[in-house]
């Protein structure tokens, strides 16, 4: 079995069923299958062969779904990339994956227009009119392919064939390409369909970027497998999350925690009809217990599910239903999701006893094939079938996993370890703090000093940075050890995040290193 075959089957089984929805645009499963087949023929005329990679820089729109399957049907491998990437980042990925071609949406075109001049041997296609060495996707759609080259039979693809390459979000350094097989996606898609009861009647809202593993591999692929309806919107806004859920009768949505935190603040939140929802799924960034409780209380703890995983694992990992374990809010659950094993191990790869901090590792059929062009890093992350997450955690006496922090984010000050998440959770419980992030900045004596970046809530006491430093030191006294309390504070209007909602701590460190005026 392979993903292209699944779309072919569903095109025959559910020909008139709504598949792709955006505003007034409605594409049935038959039309999706036929359009993917038509564009696949064009791709083969461009010389795409089995295993060739094609970059897809497209927001969450029906064209993303059509092109994704067109590339697969031509025998190619999809490389979906973040729509916020700069020209240089896109150029790097084109070379790193040795892409044979690229598709881009016309609204993103100005940032990458000159790329066609760098490597003329590639094909370049955009939505809208052709220009500057770029062909028009509309022309491809409206015209028959030329020539009589033999067609690739997508049914010959196996589960071992490569299906896509996802580039990590690049929170530190250059993004890495993570390679996946059809088996990986079929595994994690089936996992989510079963765990979250996604079926033929489901309506999935795609607002988080489909260039990321959870929105793409979990929500998109699971909906394809069962023949559910996909509702698209190009980017997340809290207002549109509420509006589309009500108008389109959405049953499932995955979002970063910040998506829920922002939506709760919308003035019309209490009046919005969200009754169609079966599952509100969140993951991708850690939450304090107070934040997790607030989200579950607002959206309904009987519908809220926390998922934990990482791109390299498919993503597969753990999940926790708030309806079953509301008292454990802030945890990531106590079991691996379907088909997934999870352990916490020490530096010698031995299982950690209850309460001891170690590194999470995951194992299952959904894990990556490896990093593209990076055998040494693959060997460091993927060992004997286990994916080492880089996340530090412990397991409590009831078997629940609690994330402590990223291994690389641990602050060492005066030879003592400080876990930023613990400090962040304490800071976020302050009534005047909207959000906070903690990093270690260089210190000539202590090695690193604990530094807090904070965004106050609207209407909070208008303190300057010196005033906030005194306030949080007062507030945190007795809540956490004195050596963990921040020595520096930087007030910001909001924390820098990538498209999946993760805080860019390397950017905070850059800002903190550049600034010498704050306390």
Are 391 and 312 part of one and the same domain? Answer: yes
Are 192 and 336 part of one and the same domain? Answer: yes
Residue 163 lies in a domain: no
* Domain stops at, among 356, 377, 406: 406
Q: b/e for 131-158, b at 16 or more Cβ within 10 A?
A: eeebbbbeebeeeebeeeeeebebeebe
Residue 247 lies in a domain: yes
The pLDDT of residue 415 is 67
Are 80 and 94 part of one and the same domain? Answer: yes
The pLDDT of residue 37 is 94
How many domains is the chain built from?
3
The pLDDT of residue 514 is 65
The pLDDT of residue 133 is 93
Residue 399 lies in a domain: yes
Are 432 and 396 part of one and the same domain? Answer: no
Residues 361-410 have pLDDT tens digits of 999 999 999 999 999 999 999 999 999 999 999 999 999 999 888 888 88
Residue 483 lies in a domain: yes
Are 112 and 204 part of one and the same domain? Answer: no
The pLDDT of residue 370 is 97
Sequence-ordered list of residues with C-beta below 8 angstroms from that of 143, at least 6 positions apart, any chain: none
Residues 209-232 have pLDDT tens digits of 999 999 999 999 999 999 999 999
Are 244 and 388 part of one and the same domain? Answer: yes
Residue 162 lies in a domain: no
Report how far residue 495's alpha carbon sits from residue 453's, in angstroms, rounded to the nearest whole number. Answer: 8
Are 39 and 113 part of one and the same domain? Answer: yes
Are 373 and 447 part of one and the same domain? Answer: no
Are 396 and 436 part of one and the same domain? Answer: no
Report how far residue 256's alpha carbon sits from residue 276's, in angstroms, rounded to the nearest whole number. Answer: 20
Residue 166 lies in a domain: no
Report how far residue 309's alpha carbon sits from residue 316's, in angstroms, rounded to the nearest whole number. Answer: 5
Residue 33 lies in a domain: yes
The pLDDT of residue 518 is 33
Are 389 and 243 part of one and the same domain? Answer: yes
Burial of 237 (0-12, 13-18, 19+ CB in 10 A): middle
The pLDDT of residue 250 is 98
Sequence-ordered list of residues with C-beta below 8 angstroms from that of 159, at least 6 positions apart, any chain: 1, 2, 181, 182, 183, 186
Residues of the chain scoring pLDDT < 50: 171-172, 516-519
Are 114 and 188 part of one and the same domain? Answer: no
CATH number of residue 101's parent domain: 3.40.50.12780
Asked if 394 and 400 touch (Cβ cutoff 8 Å), the reply is no
Dmax (CA) for the chain in angstroms is 76
Residues 135-167 have pLDDT tens digits of 999 999 999 877 666 677 877 899 999 999 999
* Domain stops at, among 352, 375, 406: 406
Are 312 and 261 part of one and the same domain? Answer: yes
Stated pTM of the model: 0.85
Residue 164 lies in a domain: no
CA atoms within 13 A on the CB side of 472: 34
Q: What is the dihedral of CA 227, 214, 388, 504, to 10 degrees?
A: 170
CATH number of residue 492's parent domain: 3.30.300.30
Asked if 121 and 133 touch (Cβ cutoff 8 Å), the reply is no
Report how far residue 138's alpha carbon sits from residue 39's, in angstroms, rounded to the nearest whole number. Answer: 11
* Domain stops at, among 373, 406, 439: 406
What is the extent of the structural domain holding 442? 410-514
- Measured CA to CA in angstroms, residue 59 lies from 78, 93, 108, 174, 300 at distances of 15, 17, 9, 22, 30
β-sheet bridge partners, residue 131: 134
Report how far residue 91's alpha carbon sits from residue 339's, in angstroms, rounded to the nearest whole number. Answer: 37
Phi and psi, residue 277, nearest 5°: -70, 135
Q: b/e for 47-81, b at 16 or more Cβ within 10 A?
A: ebeeebbbbbbbbbbbbbbbbbbbbbbbbbbbbbb
């Amino acid at each position: 079995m392979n993903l292209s075959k699944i779309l072919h089957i569903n095109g025959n089984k559910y020909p008139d069923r709504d598949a792709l929805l955006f505003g007034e645009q409605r594409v049935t499963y038959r039309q999706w299958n036929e359009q993917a087949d038509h564009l696949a023929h064009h791709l083969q005329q461009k010389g795409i062969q089995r295993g060739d990679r094609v970059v897809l820089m497209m927001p969450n729109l029906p064209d993303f779904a059509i092109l994704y399957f067109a590339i697969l049907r031509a025998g190619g491998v999809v490389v979906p990339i973040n729509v916020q990437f700069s020209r240089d980042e896109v150029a790097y990925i084109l070379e790193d994956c040795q892409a044979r071609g690229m598709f881009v949406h016309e609204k993103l075109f100005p940032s990458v227009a000159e790329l066609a001049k760098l490597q003329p041997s590639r094909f370049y296609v955009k939505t809208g009119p052709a220009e500057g060495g770029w062909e028009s996707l509309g022309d491809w759609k409206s015209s028959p392919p030329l020539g009589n080259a033999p067609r690739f039979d997508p049914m010959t693809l196996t589960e071992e064939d490569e299906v896509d390459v996802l580039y990590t979000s690049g929170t530190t350094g250059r993004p890495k390409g993570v390679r996946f097989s059809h088996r990986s996606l079929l595994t994690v898609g089936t996992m989510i369909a079963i765990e979250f009861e996604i079926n033929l009647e489901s309506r999935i809202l795609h607002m988080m970027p489909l260039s990321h593993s959870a929105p793409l591999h979990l929500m998109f692929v699971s909906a394809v497998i069962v023949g559910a309806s996909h509702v698209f919107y190009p980017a997340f806004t809290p207002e549109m999350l509420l509006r589309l859920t009500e108008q389109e009768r959405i049953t499932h949505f995955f979002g970063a925690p910040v998506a829920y935190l922002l939506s709760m603040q919308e003035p019309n939140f209490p009046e919005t009809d969200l009754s169609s929802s079966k599952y509100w799924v969140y993951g991708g960034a850690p939450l304090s217990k107070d934040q997790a409780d607030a989200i579950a209380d607002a959206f309904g703890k009987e519908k809220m599910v926390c998922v934990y995983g990482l791109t390299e694992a498919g993503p597969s990992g753990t999940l926790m239903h708030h309806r079953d374990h509301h008292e454990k809010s802030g945890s990531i659950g106590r079991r691996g999701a379907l088909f997934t094993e999870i352990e916490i191990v020490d530096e010698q790869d031995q299982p950690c006893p209850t309460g001891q901090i170690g590194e999470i590792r995951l194992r299952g059929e959904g894990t990556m094939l490896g990093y593209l062009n990076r055998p040494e890093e693959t060997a460091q992350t993927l060992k004997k079938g286990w994916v080492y997450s880089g996340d530090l955690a412990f397991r409590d006496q009831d078997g629940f996993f609690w994330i402590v922090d990223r291994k690389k984010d641990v602050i060492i000050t005066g030879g003592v370890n400080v876990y930023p998440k613990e400090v962040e959770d304490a800071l976020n419980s302050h009534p005047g703090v909207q959000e906070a992030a903690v990093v270690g900045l260089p210190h000539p004596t202590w090695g690193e000093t604990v530094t807090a970046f904070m965004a106050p809530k609207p209407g909070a006491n208008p303190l300057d940075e010196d005033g906030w430093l005194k306030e949080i030191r007062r507030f945190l006294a007795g809540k956490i050890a004195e050596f963990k309390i921040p020595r520096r504070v930087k007030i910001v209007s909001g924390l820098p995040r990538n498209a999946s909602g993760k805080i860019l701590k390397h950017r905070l460190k850059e800002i903190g290193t550049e600034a010498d005026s704050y306390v």
